[in-house]
Structure formats: structure tokens, C-alpha cells
Amino acid sequence: MSMKLIGSLSLVVWSLFMATSCWAQDFPPVLDLEGNPLVSGATYHVVPPAFDISSGLTLVGRNGSCPFYVSQVIETRGQPAPTVPAIPVTFTPRVATDGNIIRETRDFTAQFDGASTCVQSTSWRVGEQDPETGRRYVVVGPVPSSDSTLGYFNIVQNDGQYNIQWCPNCLTGVCPKPRCGSVDFVEEDGKRLMVLDGPAYSFAFIRVSN
């Protein structure tokens, strides 16, 4: 192999290394409470930063029928343990270039690590809109074929706190502008249902397994 060809190959490798390094700096990894990156295949409890007051996420019914809604378990000191336990969540990057790392502002799918009595997927997606408040609920189940981006969420950092939002990235260059919304919760009949379009709620992540 000639020195010229070796030099060309070295330049290509170096360019790819620099491009990857710059890309990684642009999209830092989301960190769990132990300071480790969130990885695909592991399970996490998604909790408020003050997780000793409120606990993780779970599935609940809203109107007595499917689909199930994403909800926050309320756990208060001195009170009996909640009857609905928290369920860990698995995150999966949307695109292969993210590897197995969940990165800030990059899309992922979220799925509960458990089965639903509705006999359907436990993957998160944007669901119905409340006709009075205009806020959208986050439910689980298959994404309607008419809009495959309804199941893609991402995490942003504001003032050192992580917020989850629905604001899918455009991968084709020709995409309708999404109606982005930050995750928050609303109280309904003693339940805390996950919704979009309100103040941004802060989250932390506790690794459970893998």
C-alpha cells in the first residue's frame, strides 16, 4: 500500500473521528442519578428530583376502558404504600447514529417494562386532547399509521433539570411543524395523569436493571 493511500485513509478516519466528537458534544447524554448515561435496553424509574415525596410512573385507566394513560404514582411520607406500583421504563433511540445512548434533544421511544391488561403495546404516545383545556394526554398503545411521530419523545435540560417533551425531530427535511409540548401532570379523580402543553415538569432517572 502506497504512502499516499495510507495518508488518505488516515485523513478519512480522522475526519470521521472529529465529526463524531463534534456530534457527541452537540448532543450530550442524558444522565441518571448516579451520573451515568441512559442506555437502551436498561430499565429506569422516572421520578421527580425530590423522589422521596413522589414516586415513579405507572399505567391507569381514565374512563374505565382502554387505552391506559401514563400516570404518576403518589407516595407521601407517613401514608400507606400506593396500591398501583411504579413501573420501570425502557428508552430506545430513534436513529442508529445515537448508538445505545439516550441524548439530549434526540428522539426516543419509551415503553413500560410490563404488560397491560388492555392487551396492547405499553409504548408511550400522544393521545387525545381535552376539549376544555386543550391539553393532550400521554397514553400507551400502537401509534396511528397516519402520524408515526406520535410515539417519539425527547429530553431537554433547563437550569440543570431534565424535562421530557414531545417535539419530534425532522429526519427528511420536509416535515410539518409539530405542535411541541412539555410533559406535566394534571389531577383527575385522585390520579395524576401525564399531559402535554403545560409547564415543564422536572424528572430524574433511577436505573433498575441491565
What CATH number did the domain enclosing 141 receive? 2.80.10.50
pLDDT reading at 63 higher than 80: no
Residue 118: the pLDDT is 76
Q: Does 153 share its domain with 131?
A: yes
Q: Does 112 share its domain with 87?
A: yes
Residue 15: the pLDDT is 40
Q: Does 56 share its domain with 20?
A: no
Q: Does 140 share its domain with 80?
A: yes
The boundaries of the domain holding residue 153 are: 31-209
200 by Cβ neighbours in 10 Å (0-12 / 13-18 / 19+) ranks as middle
Per-residue pLDDT, averaged over 49-58, amounts to 74
CA dihedral 151, 90, 52, 160 (to 10 degrees): -70
Per-residue pLDDT, averaged over 50-77, amounts to 78
pLDDT tens digits, 94-128: 999 899 999 999 999 999 997 667 767 899 999 99
Q: Does 130 share its domain with 59?
A: yes
152 by Cβ neighbours in 10 Å (0-12 / 13-18 / 19+) ranks as buried
The phi-psi region of residue 62 (left if phi > 0; otherwise alpha if psi is between -120 and 50; otherwise beta) is alpha
pLDDT reading at 30 higher than 90: yes
Q: Does 36 share its domain with 58?
A: yes
User: pTM to 2 decimals?
Assistant: 0.82
What is the number of structural domains in the chain? 2
pLDDT reading at 89 higher than 60: yes
What mean pLDDT is reported for the chain? Answer: 83
**Ordered alpha helix ranges (H), 51-186:** none
User: Band of the pLDDT at 38, cuts 50, 70, 90?
Assistant: very high
CB under 8 A, 24+ apart: contacts of 143-149: 149/178
Question: Of all residues in the chain, what percent carry a pLDDT higher than 90?
Answer: 56
Residue 5: the pLDDT is 42
Q: Does 48 share its domain with 72?
A: yes
Helix/strand/coil for 29: strand
Q: Does 47 share its domain with 10?
A: no
Q: Does 4 share its domain with 106?
A: no
Q: Does 66 share its domain with 1?
A: no
pLDDT tens digits, 182-202: 999 999 988 899 999 999 999
Candidates 99, 175, 159; CA nearest to 167 is 175
